[in-house]
Amino acid sequence: MAEALGHPRFGYYRKALALGAAGDFTTAPEISQMFGELLGAWLAERWMAMGRPSSVRLVELGPGRGTLLADALRATRGVAGFHAALDLHLVEISERLRAAQATALAGLAPTWHDRLDDVPDGPLLLIANEFFDALPVRQFVCTAQGWIERMVGLAGDGETLRLALAPGRTPFAAALPEAVPGRQAELCEAGLALAAAIGARLRRDGGWALIIDYGFDATSGLSLQAVRQHRGSDILDRPGETDLSAHVDFTGLARATGMPAFGPAGQGDFLRRVGIIQRAEALKARATLSQRQSIDAALARLIDPDQMGTLFRVLAVGNTPSSEPPGFSDSFPSTT
Ligand code: SAH
């Protein structure tokens, strides 16, 4: 998975312009400007909760086409002092997407990095939408002998890729659920290590991280999937030309940060609590009939339980004492 997505020459995220109607998949910020606008309001509110520091690193992991931040920053132009405090850092491995981000964020002078470790220290506001699902997972199957890793190997012809169980018990058993024959599990070491690094930065320098992705609360079987041109595909088919992603283990991520965590909330609940219905109404008040219809369609896609509303989750991690971030309980007043 790491090679298929990240290989410097042949990796999927190095070559393809994965996102959008012409690409392989669509993401929430590409569905509607409302998504980025509301996350912008969330970030500005957290900056105020941090005591309006005069300098904060605004970091996005895997910014795609830069749409989310462009919408977030346009929506928060009126927040006194906020933009002046922001120092924008983008963690992105795709050269083509870096170019798209430069266009979308022209004038905001972002700095690009290959890894979070390269982002300078300092108070942090971090956002990651559909980033952790692209980090490589290991897969395990529990047999009568215990947990065994499922790996990629070659078929008898010496050319065709196939999945097979590695010989012997895996040394990763301690990180997996209780061994019950028939159980299956995934482990995303890169995601857990990144969560630990984010937690360490937040603990040291202060700030907040908002992680949005599709995933589960507790370990639940095998989820690795392949998508090409908006259709499901075999995970071993055409590596480097196919998107691979896996469900994010939010419980594991939250624990790995070692910080107070809020959520995961369903994306639908989160967006409703931060005011997406009111935002949609405000946009519709100035729209044509066909624009109103597309706003309603986008709203449904983002929040309906049978669309992105339940499968996608939102997790916030941060350390501003006694201050609950918006979006995680119904009692909190909306930010709009
Ligand atoms: N957040 C965007 C894009 C999601 S797609 C959106 O919501 O539209 C995943 C993004 O992460 C892409 O920008 C991809 O190029 C980037 N990416 C994937 N793996 C990465 C890695 N290991 N390091 C840095 N960026 C990565």
Q: What is the pLDDT of residues 46-101, one digit of tens each?
A: 999 999 999 999 999 999 999 999 999 999 999 999 999 999 999 999 998 999 99
Tell me how far the alpha carbon of residue 216 lies from the centroid of ligand 1, in angstroms. Answer: 20
The verdict on the CB of residue 4 being under 6 Å from ligand 1 is no
Tell me how far the alpha carbon of residue 146 lies from the centroid of ligand 1, in angstroms. Answer: 35
Q: What phi and psi, each to the nearest 5 degrees, are found at residue 259?
A: -120, 160
For residues 14 and 60, the answer to whether their CB atoms sit within 8 Å is no
Across the range 247-258, mean pLDDT stands at 95
Query: Hey, how many other C-beta atoms are within 10 angstroms of the C-beta on 147?
Result: 25
Across the range 112-135, mean pLDDT stands at 97
The verdict on the CB of residue 29 being under 6 Å from ligand 1 is yes
Across the range 14-37, mean pLDDT stands at 83
For residues 233 and 242, the answer to whether their CB atoms sit within 8 Å is yes
pLDDT over 90 at 247, yes or no: yes
pLDDT over 80 at 305, yes or no: yes
The verdict on the CB of residue 100 being under 6 Å from ligand 1 is no
Index of the ligand 1 atom closest to the CA of residue 62: 11
pLDDT over 50 at 334, yes or no: no
Across the range 174-193, mean pLDDT stands at 95
The verdict on the CB of residue 64 being under 6 Å from ligand 1 is yes
Nearest CA to ligand 1 atom 25: 92
Q: Where are the alpha helices (DSSP H) in 1-110?
A: 2-6, 12-15, 28-31, 33-49, 67-75, 82-85, 95-104
In whole numbers, what is the pLDDT of the chain averaged over residues? 93
pLDDT over 50 at 336, yes or no: no
Across the range 149-168, mean pLDDT stands at 93
Tell me how far the alpha carbon of residue 200 lies from the centroid of ligand 1, in angstroms. Answer: 22
Q: Which of 67-81, 149-163, 210-224 has the lowest mean pLDDT?
A: 210-224
Across the range 282-289, mean pLDDT stands at 97
The verdict on the CB of residue 60 being under 6 Å from ligand 1 is no
Can you state the percent helix, strand and coil of the chain, rounding each to 5?
35, 25, 40
Residue 216: the pLDDT is 74
Index of the ligand 1 atom closest to the CA of residue 25: 5
The verdict on the CB of residue 130 being under 6 Å from ligand 1 is yes
Across the range 241-258, mean pLDDT stands at 94
pLDDT interval class at 16 (50, 70, 90): low
Tell me how far the alpha carbon of residue 148 lies from the centroid of ligand 1, in angstroms. Answer: 30
pTM for the structure as a whole: 0.95
Residue 23: the pLDDT is 72
pLDDT interval class at 335 (50, 70, 90): very low
Q: Chain centroid to CA 234: how far?
A: 23
The verdict on the CB of residue 1 being under 6 Å from ligand 1 is no
Across the range 269-292, mean pLDDT stands at 97
Nearest CA to ligand 1 atom 20: 93
The verdict on the CB of residue 62 being under 6 Å from ligand 1 is yes
Share of the chain above pLDDT 70, in %: 94
- Report the residue among 31, 69, 131 best suited for mutation to probe ligand 1: largest number of ligand atoms under 8 A from its CB: 131
The verdict on the CB of residue 243 being under 6 Å from ligand 1 is no
Residue 17: the pLDDT is 67
In degrees, rounded to 5, the angle at the alpha carbon of residue 77 between the alpha carbons of residues 75 and 81 is 135
Tell me how far the alpha carbon of residue 282 lies from the centroid of ligand 1, in angstroms. Answer: 31
